[in-house]
Chains A and B, each alone.
Chain A
Amino acid sequence: MARIGRASNRLDRVALAACAALSIVALALPAQVRDPIASSLRRSVVAPLLVLQERSELSRRAFLAHDAVVAARDSVALRAMKLVPLEEENARLRAIIGLGARLQWGFVPAEALHGKGVRDEFGLTLSAGSNAGVARLSPVVAPEGLVGVVDNVDPTMSHAMVWTHPDFRVSGMSEDASAFGIVQAHVAAGPGRYLMEMRGVPFRTSVKPGTLVVSSGLGGVYPRGIPLGRVIGETKTSETWARTYLVRPAVFPADVSSVMILRPDRVARGVDNVWASGMVSDSTVRRIVAAGDSMARTAALEEARARQAVQDSIVRDSLRRAGITPTDTTSPTPATPSPAATPVPRPAAPVVPVRRDTTFRDSAAIRRDTTRRPRRDSAIALPTPN
């Protein structure tokens, strides 16, 4: 029994020595021997385990990436939410740049600073003051139209009374200057308080809904032509001698972020065609199209006339060869006889006053018609006279 135990111990030690020696030999193997052994092990025994490990690592990566994907998705969603205001701001800035380009001079750009937290409905603080040339009673405009008027000026800042102020008044008129009135804020409760009204329109004058109301320039504070709004309809008031119209304002002060302050010299020179440039360009385009149509029509008529003249010439030549004197119905002008056009000398006849008739013409006149200089834009090659 003890011998068996000693033999087992010896076997264990031998196995240990052999395995340890094998391990050390494996450690000392050169790369060209070691690599094929390792490769064969990887491809056989370890391969299924490596598949398991690969899937586990993929799972872990997916688990870790999930958080990153969710974070990226949230970031994208957040940016998408910010995109709409950015686009709107971009459009507003483009509009204000366009207004500045149309005004060209005599204005001060400013940022409209609304009240702290709660927006002030009757006033705006502007980021430009007297140092920039802003004066009291300078009109404050936006690309859409009139915002208000500067009522207080500091060196670096100013304050504007917007049209929603109960004391705000501007002389307005319809776009075609057929109706004049005083435009002011519509004093009402509810949504109506954000409308304007044009008061004092003569009773005999009717303004259709949708009519653009602009400043009339009367009074000298606001130049003529600044859009105020569009007529919604007539409203009944106690003033029976005049009409009052509700006007949808062109500018909502709460939405204004950038404005232009018109300097007094610009007010004095007026702002004609600054806000009407869109309409002007439309009518210009229409006129250009009409002119183009007219030119095309004229060219077509000229071409048709030349064709007709050529055909007539051919017919007349044929008739002349047949001994028949042709008549011309195309040219209204009387023709003078040409020596070349009278191949057969006529017998002497008594001189009779020639009756000039615009409907009869000899062949010389016809020939002269056919030798008319061709138009440059005509593609028809006219035949040379015989």
Chain B
Amino acid sequence: MEDIYEYLRPKIKVFEKVFEHPIVEVSLKAEGGGELKLGGVRSLPLFSTQPFKPALALRVEETINGYPEPMAREYGEELGDPVKWALKQVDEVHPDAFILRFEVKEEGLEKWASQAGRVVKQVSGSCGTPLILDVDGSPSLVGRAIQYLSGNMGGRGVLASASLTSDYKLIMESALRNGQVVVAETDCDPTSQRTLNSKLLEAGLPEDQLLMDPTTASLGLGVEYSISIVEQLRLDGLKGDELTRFPIAALRAAPLSWKAREAWMEDPELPPPHVRGALWEAHTATILLLSGADLTAITHPKALEAVREAFKR
């Protein structure tokens, strides 16, 4: 039918919100030549006609104990071998990157280091996607562990865990030596994110080797803090703030989803915890990617698939 109201108005343009200053483009490199580019955008996701292609990293734990309990029960021993698990997921859900997470302890340090070094080498060498190295433990050990392990990545990949409480200088030096990218981690606080970024830049880290992770809160555990912090930092960066114009890698928020009561609580009337945990993770990831995170880590492969599927169209 003929549109009788056509004459009422002139054509409406596409309403966008585009800024002058693009976010710094950071390239995550994989051994064997693969590459994942983050940043370069000039608007919040879907606030302009710029393409929106969020990156999804699968989080792989060193041991089965690192996984959320319901997931460990669901997959069992399979999770005990990080290299096998990662390779299987390359075939099944083909993540854009891997984040390999270790826990370092004083006890048995040497033995741990040689074992962990082997895992890093194998995952980095055989997955074909960029590898993000993440070490948890006492601040005095984390820096040293990263320093040691980062040499096994063929001069590629990303080093996470640089925070104001950890030995971020040591981590940065390793990155500089190997040509790797650093993730600066803070807890939902723009001031400390600026402080840490500025310390790293002042100490000589090139702008295109810096990512930031200000997200600590997942769905059900105050995700609104993560949303606001990501939006705030991204908008500041787009407006030209030299301390926040870096891509955001939300490495911690989605995996934390398993800690939300809605995910783990025992209730026979609800779907099983491994389903709820994965769903919660997929939601946290989706929400943060739409808020402005350029990359998110996800633990459960089905959650990763769901997020990818959701953003397909």
A and B from one assembly?
no
Interface residues of chain A, those whose CB is within 8 Å of chain B, are: none
